[in-house]
A and B are shown apart, each in its own frame.
Chain A
Amino acid sequence: MSSREGIARFHRKTGQAVPCYPRDVSATSTLRKIETLRVSAVVRVTHWITVIAFLALLISGGEIVISHPRFYWGEVGNVNTKPLFTLPIPASRRTVPTGYGYVVLDQNGWSRYLHFEAAWLAVLTGLVYVIWGLAKGHFRKNLFPLPADRTWRAFQQAIVRHLPWTPTKAAGAGSYNVVQRTTYLIVIFVLFPLVIWTGLAMSPAFTAAVPLAASALGGRQSARTIHFFVSNLLLVFLLVHVTMVIVAGFKSRMRAMITGRIVIAKEGS
């Protein structure tokens, strides 16, 4: 494994982080901090661009749903057909029966413009990240669970270790644990591709070129319903992710994701 990546290396057997390039950042003080590079620049930049794009997609997507908070299965669905389910919220269009006697402000115009612009930002950023990650072995080295961790038992242990809701021990801060690795891989290689696919399956021009995009999902309305559920899973991921960042130590984790560096040991105090 190359140590020139600047990313923490791991012990083959234990999975413990072995810091590469420890850097003494405060040699003149009595408190010596040993830092390591936890997150590479590409990961940090693409992460924060994705944060901006995802929040824009979430807000605009919610606004678009409000114009028709009914969901269907199959190719077609409208106010004259039976919905699969209806969100218990008022709508921004008065043609939609919601049980509420009023409509909320219609924001579809800018929401749609924002949704597709943010989608482009997310997709292009994701492409840069995935191509870089494949070229540099980022997924293999940092995200695929370590050989020793590829058991259900290791998965359970990682959860149990974090149950007391205490900040992660400094020794573990240089790498991701097996639960993190699995979750990140699912988000990157399952949820994001699925949300892009179901989004494209709602486009009348895209499905003209690639009819299978919609028909393989059971139709346009099925695609819309799956798009809604996958977006909700991504929202759940976002909430859990931010919660874990706060539990693990908000300042140190935010600093790591902005500067790339994290303190892994203190000496000589």
Chain B
Amino acid sequence: MTNFSRRKLITGGLAATAGVSGLAAAALVAERYGLIPPDSGGVWGPGETLTYAAQRLLTTHSAAREFPRSMISKMPFANETAPPNDAFKHHQANGFSDWRLTVDGMVARPASLSLSDLRSLPVRSQITEVACEEGWSYIAEWIGTPLVEVLHATGLLPQARYLVYFSIEPGWWESIDLADALHPQTLLTLGMNDGDLPVSFGGPLRLRVPRQLGYKSVKYITRITATDSMKHFGQGLGSASPEGGYAWYAGI
């Protein structure tokens, strides 16, 4: 072996070691600061992780754009939903008077809240845009209780990292990280454009996450669970979306 090739081998070896340890260190730092999404495995993992990490570093404290009242869409589009199940029809017949929101998991005081319980917490309104992954959008005024108020009332435990939320329709569930869960614009929405939230738009209760695409704003919410890991929910990918081929993080 000549000196040249030996030197090359040593340099190459050192560079490879530095590269691998650099990547391992980056992965540790990313994990420590919550920059790795639950669907980071597989062929789409690198792109999803880059998007999520970059946007968490850039947008954690940013507020979604709010619009003047004059820009509220005259003809918003509700999108289609599957026909409601019997449980929902039962609630609808009762005027949603028995609708409950269960808050459990990593909270100090698990609770079962009625819609009027939610209204008794601080309520705010915002005029934000719903943007669908298909490309269309509309602007509406959304009125409701910020999720963070419910989390304060129930005492979110410090080890919690994700909020998982479920629709009354089976198989329809999503999750968000704390950056979105504690964000003042993330709204347990009860009203729309000065009236009750229509059923087609998610009434009686929809979780609006305006910094992400429309599919993260699940309709007909009945349960919220705080957790430190997404491993034991569904296939462990974070929500039903990745199981159906869509990204968990939809801030793009």
Contact A205 B134 (CB under 8 A): no
Chain A residues with CB under 8 Å of B47's CB are 113, 116-120
Q: Is the interface of A mostly helix, strand, loop or mixed?
A: helix
What number of residue pairs across chains A and B have CB atoms under 8 A from each other? Answer: 124
Q: When chains A and B are docked, how far (Å) is the Cα of A205 from the Cα of B58?
A: 9
Decide yes or no: A95 and B135 within 8 Å by CB, A75-B129, A117-B47 being known contacts.
Answer: no
- A selection of 29 A-B contacts at a CB cut-off of 8 Å is A67-B134, A68-B135, A70-B136, A75-B137, A76-B71, A76-B73, A78-B73, A78-B132, A79-B77, A79-B136, A110-B44, A112-B246, A112-B247, A113-B47, A116-B47, A117-B47, A118-B47, A119-B47, A120-B46, A120-B50, A203-B55, A204-B213, A205-B55, A205-B59, A205-B62, A209-B58, A215-B65, A220-B137, A221-B137
Interface residue? B239 (CB, 8 A) = no
User: Would you call B206 an interface residue if the criterion is a C-beta within 8 Å of the partner chain's C-beta atoms?
Assistant: no
- Distance between Cα atoms of A117 and B212 in the complex (Å): 18
Question: Does A214 sit within 8 A of B, measured CB to CB?
Answer: yes
- Contact among B44, B55, B63, B139 with A113 in the assembled complex (CB-CB below 8 Å): B44
Cross-chain contact A78 with B137 (CB below 8 angstroms): yes
Look across to chain A and name the residue whose beta carbon is closest to the beta carbon of B216. Answer: A204
Given A203-B252, A205-B62, 11 more A-B residue pairs with CB atoms under 8 Å apart are A78-B73, A78-B138, A79-B77, A80-B75, A80-B76, A81-B75, A117-B48, A120-B46, A204-B213, A205-B251, A206-B251
Also in contact, A78 and B77, with CB within 8 A (given A64-B135, A67-B135): yes
Q: Mark B53-85, 1 if CB is under 8 A from A, else 0.
A: 001001100111101000101011101100000
The size class of the interface chain B forms with chain A is 35 or more
A204: chain B residues within 8 A (beta carbon):
64, 129, 131, 210-213, 251-252
Kindly identify, within residues 134 to 181 of chain B, every residue whose CB is under 8 Å from any CB belonging to chain A.
134-139
- Judge if B244 is at the interface, Cβ distance under 8 Å: yes
Please indicate which of the listed interface residues B47, B58, B136 has the most CB atoms of chain A within 10 Å of its own CB. B136
Query: Across the interface, do A120 and B51 meet the contact criterion of CB distance under 8 Å?
Result: yes
The 8 A-B pairs of least Cβ separation, nearest first, read A117-B47, A109-B245, A205-B251, A80-B75, A203-B252, A78-B136, A113-B44, A208-B62
Contacting residues, chain A, for B212 (C-beta < 8 A):
204-205
A224 within 8 A of partner (CB): yes
Any B CB within 8 A of the CB of A93 = yes
In the complex, what distance in Å separates the CA atom of A208 from the CA atom of B213? 12
- Which A residues are within 8 Å of any B CB, using their own CB? 64-65, 67-68, 70, 72, 75-81, 93-96, 108-110, 112-114, 116-120, 202-209, 211, 214-215, 220-221, 224
For window 27-46 of chain B, which residues contact chain A by CB distance below 8 Å? 44, 46
B79 proximity list for chain A (CB < 8 A): 95
Residues of B at under 8 Å CB distance from A?
Answer: 44, 46-48, 50-51, 55, 58-59, 62-65, 67, 71, 73, 75-77, 79-80, 129, 131-139, 210-213, 244-247, 251-252
Q: Which residues of B contact A116 (CB under 8 A)?
A: 47-48, 51, 247, 252
With contact pairs A112-B246, A214-B65 given, residues A208 and B211 touching in the complex (Cβ less than 8 Å): yes
A113 x B251 contact (CB < 8 A) = no
Inside 8 A of A224's CB, which chain B residues have their CB? 135
Given the contacts A208-B63, A209-B59, A109 and B244 also touching, CB distance less than 8 Å: yes
B51 partner residues in chain A, CB cutoff 8 A: 116, 120
